[in-house]
Chains A and B, each alone.
Chain A
Amino acid sequence: MDLFGNLIIGFESALSLQNLLYAFMGCVLGTLIGVLPGLGPLATISMLLPFTFGLDPTAALIMLAGIYYGAAYGGSTTAILVNLPGETSSVVTVLDGYQMARQGRAGVAIATAAIGSFFAGCVGTLILAAFAAPLASVAFRFGGAEYFSLMVVGLIGAVSLASGSIMKAIGMILIGVILGTVGTDLNSGVQRFTFGTPNLWEGIDFIVIAVGLFAFGEVIASLESDANRETFTDNMGRLMPRAEDFRRMTPAILRGTSIGALLGILPGAGLSLSSFFSYSLEKKVSRFRGELGKGAIEGVAGPEAANNAAAQTAFIPTLTLGIPGSPTMALMLGAMVMHNIQPGPQVMTSNPALFWGLIVSMWIGNLILIILNLPLVGLWVRLLSIPYRVLYPAILLFCCLGVYSVQFSTFDLFLAAGFGLAGYALRKLECEPAPLVLGFVLGPLLEENFRRAMVLSQGDYMVFVREPISLCFLILAAALLITAMFPKIRRERDAILHEET
């Protein structure tokens, strides 16, 4: 009842012509900038933030939320078309999305991402509207021990990102973890692997690694084989998914949405973990898991849905507690403070038009985006028919802009170039970069939370099994490990499953 009344307040506020217009503008701007390689939502919002200062607070936040989703949509388009993840969560979209594009199914992949995101966005908005306050307390239950055990699950699951050799995948994860330790150690203040240059004191940025390994590596590799490229551009295929595609994407989207909505609530790690977890889940339970990594539609639908559901529920800690779940959320919070709104539980009561208006406008934003994006699919796909002697230099240019915009540092550009060569070498060695990136993201979180849990428990290792949530994750991790360690069990299970189907 209450929810209904609140949503009406929200619709009244969000459906004003002015706010609708700002939501639309935000979506368009976000998509346009997010589609540029190397520029993810974080860079997009920080660039466009000043544009919103002159607006009234509700309109400003609505526009920012539009930019946020728009950039996320744009980011998946880049991931699918040019093999470049603009943020952590689209590393997974690259795996199957780019393979689909190579098979001439780029349009279907982009449309699937949009449909999955829209559905997840709707569910996420409903959850946000109905359970924001009670769910907020879940975030508090996650301390060092819980996060540590969650990261263990994530790292073990990372093996599933590889479609080739398991040993190579483990190697890649470990290299990623080591790269993640570069910089000043949080706990001791010791500088690790900085080789005496202050440029590395703060570690390596995600964009540097992603652009280097994926985009630069791809461009170098494309130089040696243009035969491959011909098939890519000539055959654009269908733009819209077929009935068969819909049948296959539906369960993946449902699974992705649930996992994303749950993980999004956790400040810090949730958003980036959601798509990885969804992919791992698909790899375990999907009927078509054998095709994952080779252009399966589930590999795009699940993670994209998870990512967008998490993006919605990530607003829960931000709006209700004033605790940002990600750097992007921190920027949104900063924007609220700039407009004299103190985030926290009181926002709901003191400023209901803003709170519910924002929530409703998130849903409207998702609707605008799907209306905007489905017709644009053809346009984006046509970008691929640009001769690559024109397309690739342009991609390189935008990537360099994206890398430079992170720290305004030319050192980062050289570093990304270095990773480009490394990415090419890894490609030749048939080592996949996705597990490396996951190791890079999760490794430092694992270490940080492990050490924090140890300090707070005064060196008692039992803390990880004493905390119930942590224990559950560790049991899950052990189960995953056992199924991975004993391929025999897996083979038998696969055989049983095949008999059933």
Chain B
Amino acid sequence: MNRILGILLCVGAACLSGLASAQDFPTKRVTIVIPFTPAGSNDTIGRYLADGLAKLWSTPVVVENKPGAGSAIGSAHVAQSRPDGYTLLFVSGTFTTNAATQSNLPFDPVKDLKPVGMGALGQMVIVTGSRVPVNNLADLAKAAKTQKIFYGTTGVGSSTQFAGELLNDVAGIKMEPVHYKGGTDALVDMAGGRLDVYVGTVTQVLSSVASNKAKPIAIASKTRSKAMPDVPTVAEAGFAGAEADIWWGVFAPSGTPDAVVTKINQGINTVMGSPEATEFLAKHGAMPAAMSVAAFGDHVTKELAKWRELAVKHNIKAD
């Protein structure tokens, strides 16, 4: 009897503390899990957000790197954490592309995690090598109908492959993927005249473009890039729908109270919306893209559906 009473009391206390944390969250240290190794864009941007939130909330916000299995290990860790908002996941768009290609993930990306807010958006650019002498996307699409065009990826199911396949779909062409360990390997092959097309982040291709080893023909985004203002967007080039932005967002274990989620969302938007943040993000080829909880949730759902459809259509599997 006493034990049941004890359990009831505990449950009651937990409910109360839940209510309390909804109002004056956070009252203790918050942990942000980054499922990638230190250094690199995911880690740098995630740490910037953690520092900003710590200042905003006057509470320690610590970053914990839990790399492995292409972000699955860290994501699964957060999915199994206590849903109180004190353990959060900072992850890139690979969260949605992995969900589309890996059937054996150790967590359910829809059921186990709840979208909280958008951290930042990064742009990808379509570049071509000397083997296809084209100046715009329309010419590339025309060339691809008469000759075999190869595009580089950073692995099966990577964001670079999805961006390439999306371009295939929208332009009605069949460029063939060539897989590389990393984007720089692809850019070396492009400079050597062996690879035709690569869709990579603006930051990554910038030095190849500067040394005329790669020609930017379109930005795979809704807006032009500040780093390459003369390059048209895919829509301007006549290929609307080939937008493939990369993004970083925050997730919490599902079951985290909505009030806490909203509070964290506001915190993220405040930190990443400041002028200093804009300047910081620009250095990493990214920009702020504040979203409400609902809008970010919508964004994630759409991305999951979009990549899943593309993965099924082109049989992209990584398990």
B203, A337: Cβ atoms closer than 8 Å? yes
Binds B, one of A15-23, A156-164, A343-351, A392-400: A343-351
Tally chain B residues at the interface, Cβ within 8 Å.
48
B73, B155, B176: the one contacting A199 at CB < 8 Å is B73
Q: Is the CB of B188 within 8 A of A189?
A: no
| Nearest CB on A from B233, distance (A) | 23
Beta-carbon nearest neighbor of A317 in chain B? B188
A331 to B185: give the CA distance in the assembly, Å. Answer: 16
Question: Is the pair A198, B73 in contact by a Cβ cutoff of 8 Å?
Answer: yes
Given the complex of chains A and B, what is the CA–CA distance between A191 and B69 in angstroms? 11
| Minimum distance in angstroms from A274 CB to a CB of chain B | 19
Kindly state the interface size class of chain A when it binds its partner.
35 or more
Contact (Cβ within 8 A) A344 B207? yes
When the two chains form their complex, are residues B156 and A189 in contact, meaning their CB atoms are under 8 A apart?
yes
Whose C-beta in chain B lies nearest to the C-beta of A183? Answer: B69
B229 adjacent to chain A (CB < 8 Å): no
A142 within 8 A of B: yes
For A186, the chain B residues whose CB sits under 8 A away are: 155-156, 179-181
Q: Is the CB of A288 closer than 8 A to any CB of chain B? A: no
Given contacts A46-B39, A186-B156, contact A407 B106 (CB under 8 A): no
Please determine whether B210 and A408 come into contact, CB atoms closer than 8 angstroms.
no
Q: Which residue of B lies closest to A266 (CB)?
A: B188
| Cβ A407 vs Cβ B37 within 8 A | yes
Most buried by B among A46, A184, A331: A184
* B residues near A456, Cβ cutoff 8 Å: 150, 178, 194-195
- Is there an interface contact between A455 and B178, defined as CB atoms closer than 8 Å? yes
**Of B15-23, B60-68, B257-265, the one touching chain A:** B60-68
The answer for the CA separation of A451 and B179 in the assembled complex, in Å, is: 9
Query: Which of A67-75, A319-327, A432-440, A486-494 has 4 or more CB atoms under 8 Å from chain B?
Result: A319-327
The answer to the question of A228 belonging to the interface, with a C-beta cut-off of 8 Å to chain B, is no
With the chains together, A468 CA to B188 CA distance in Å? 19
Interface check B148, CB cutoff 8 A: yes
Contacts of A198 in B (CB 8 A): 68-69, 72-73, 76, 106
- The verdict on A342 contacting B39 (CB below 8 Å), with A198-B69, A323-B184, A456-B194 known, is no
Interface string of B68-80 (1 = CB under 8 A from A): 1110110010000
Residue A49 lies at the interface, judged by CB distance under 8 Å to chain B: yes
* Bound-complex Cα distance A143 to B190 (A): 10
CA distance A322 to B210 in the complex (A): 10
Residues in B neighbouring A46, C-beta threshold 8 A: 38-39
In the complex, the answer to whether B179 meets A202 with C-beta atoms within 8 Å is: no
- Flag if B207 contacts A199 (CB, 8 Å): no
Interface residues of B in 114-158 (CB under 8 A from A): 148, 150, 155-157
Q: Which residues of chain A in 336-374 are interfacial with respect to chain B, using CB atoms and an 8 Å cutoff?
A: 337-338, 340, 342-346
Task: Please name all residues of chain A whose beta carbon is closer than 8 Å to the beta carbon of B187 when the two chains form the complex.
Answer: 323
Whether the pair B178, A201 counts as a contact (CB closer than 8 A) is no
* Bound CA span A421–B95, Å: 37
Verify if A188 is at the interface (C-beta below 8 Å from B).
Answer: yes
What is the distance, in angstroms, from B34's C-beta to the closest C-beta of chain A? 11
Whether B210 and A342, one on each chain, are in contact in the complex, defined by CB atoms closer than 8 angstroms, is: yes
Contact with A along B189-208 (1 / 0, CB 8 A): 10111110000000100111
Tell whether A501 is near chain B: CB-to-CB under 8 Å: no
A452 at the interface (CB under 8 A from B): yes
Q: In the assembled complex, how far is the CB of residue B212 from the closest CB belonging to chain A, in whole angstroms?
A: 9
B181 touches A455 (CB 8 A): no
Q: Is the C-beta of B40 less than 8 angstroms from some C-beta in chain A?
A: yes
Interchain CA distance A198-B188 in the complex, whole Å: 31
A196 CA to B103 CA in the complex, in Å?
12
B40, B68, B203, B207: which has the most chain A beta carbons within 10 Å?
Answer: B207
Flag if A408 contacts B207 (CB, 8 Å).
no
Mask, B148-185, CB within 8 Å of A = 1, is: 10100001110000000000000000001011110011
Q: Is the CB of B72 within 8 A of A201?
A: yes
What per-residue 1/0 map shows which CB atoms of A58-86 lie under 8 Å from chain B? 00000000000000000000000000000
Cα A139 to Cα B190 with chains together (Å):
12
Q: Are B210 and A346 in contact (CB under 8 A)?
A: yes
Within 8 A of A (CB), among B273-319: 283, 316-319
The residue of chain A having its C-beta at the shortest distance from the C-beta of B184 within the complex is A323
Query: Does B150 lie within 8 Å of A345, measured CB to CB?
Result: no
A141 an interface residue at 8 Å Cβ cutoff?
yes
Nearest A residue to B284, CB-CB: A337
Which of B104, B148, B180, B193 interacts with A458 by CB under 8 Å?
Answer: B148
Determine how close the nearest CB of chain B comes to the CB of A405; give it in whole angstroms: 10
> B2 at the A/B interface (Cβ < 8 Å)?
no
A334 on interface, CB distance cutoff 8 Å: yes
Decide if A409 is an interface residue (CB 8 Å cutoff). Answer: yes
A190–B195 CA distance with the chains assembled, in angstroms: 24
Q: Is there contact, CB below 8 Å, between A201 and B156?
A: no
Contact partners of A49 in chain B: CB under 8 A: 39
A186-B181, A198-B106 given; name 6 further pairs at CB < 8 Å: A140-B188, A184-B156, A190-B319, A342-B206, A346-B211, A456-B195
A-B contact pairs, 25 of them (CB 8 A): A46-B39, A141-B192, A142-B188, A142-B192, A143-B194, A186-B155, A186-B181, A189-B156, A191-B318, A267-B185, A268-B185, A321-B191, A322-B207, A324-B184, A334-B40, A340-B283, A344-B210, A344-B211, A345-B210, A407-B68, A408-B66, A408-B67, A451-B179, A455-B176, A456-B150
Closest 10 CB pairs of A and B: A322-B207, A189-B156, A189-B318, A198-B69, A201-B69, A344-B207, A140-B192, A143-B194, A344-B210, A140-B191
